Amino acid sequence: MAVEVGVEGRVQGVAFRAYTQEEAERLGVSGWVRNEPDGSVLVHAEGPEEKVEALAAWCRHGPSYARVDRVSVREVPDRGETGFRIRG
């Protein structure tokens, strides 16, 4: 299963990407996370359905310094990602 999770709110400048990477690695999810020009964060996550869903659920609150206002989740094609990295 693969999804893209868009996260809006105060999610840049609060270590959202680093904590997302940490959570993804803890769960065993592959993919990436990046800041978007509009101030949001985009997460691409691949792996077993229950683990991907757990990461998407975590994105609904993020780290303690974040303020998540809106989350969108959409299924996308699996890209064969290995590991989880911060893209930009």
Q: Show which residues are catalytic.
A: 17, 35
Q: What span, in angstroms and rounded, lies between the C-alpha atoms of 82 and 12?
A: 25
57 vs 31, 37, 38, 53, CA distance in Å?
16, 23, 22, 6
Return the number of other C-beta atoms located less than 10 Å from residue 73's C-beta.
18
41 vs 49, 52, 81, CA distance in Å?
21, 17, 19
